[in-house]
Amino acid sequence: ESEKSLRMGCAGYPAKKSFLTTDFRSSSRSRLSRRSTIADIVELDAVLATAMTYYDGIYHLPINAYTVRQLSKHTNGAKPVADKTLFSRLLINGEINNVYAEHVVAALEGIGEYVEHLVIVAPIHTTEFGDAFKRDSHDVNTGSDWENILKRFPNLQSLTFKHPTHMPTELTRETFCAIHCALA
């Protein structure tokens, strides 16, 4: 009767169980799910490893919107990457055209020193209102960014340029000429 009078003003929720039980059976607290912690978050190494692309018999890390977003966590210092060999082989293809230039630049600056092999699959347009690298300093021109992009890879051992057979030659010629001028 006293419990009924206490619950008269309640909102209709069921009575709460006590977590302190008198017997040694498991309490209802042990059935509660634990909340998410940092231990539940997948490491950046594993995320980047799943993003690797199999190209010409070798796994490469593609530079696209997804990987640039993941790499921003590394370049900002929020998530470290233990396995730097993930960055040894990069694949840059037409998907990079869908990513804002400054984000790509930041990603390449963060991982460029670990890149040893670079595969470029044409066509790629690196001119977005002039050089993205010089745009911040208000020095805009009509040149391409390949020279500045390649400077980000001091340990580069090999650069491979691929021309897909299904792409028109005119589209890939611009990319090839820009890379050739940057290497000269």
For the chain of 184 residues, list the mean pLDDT of each consecutive stretch of 10.
60 56 53 50 85 93 93 88 92 86 87 94 63 50 67 92 75 72 76
Q: What residue numbers bound the domain in which 85 lies?
A: 42-183
Quote the CA–CA distance of 138 and 118 in Å, as a whole number: 29
Q: Phi, psi at residue 93, to the nearest 5°?
A: -130, -165
What is the predicted pLDDT for the residue at 6?
60
Quote the CA–CA distance of 126 and 132 in Å, as a whole number: 8
Residue 157 lies in a domain: yes
What is the predicted pLDDT for the residue at 41?
61
DSSP lists the bridge partners of residue 62 as 91
What is the predicted pLDDT for the residue at 142?
43
Angle at which helices 65-75 and 101-111 cross, to 10°: 50
The answer to whether the Cα torsion of 73, 74, 78, 84 is positive or negative is: positive
What is the predicted pLDDT for the residue at 180?
75
What is the predicted pLDDT for the residue at 121?
87
Residue 118 lies in a domain: yes
Residue 49 lies in a domain: yes
Residue 17 lies in a domain: no
Domain count, the chain: 1
Supply 75's token pair. 């370049």
Residue 2 lies in a domain: no
What is the predicted pLDDT for the residue at 181?
78
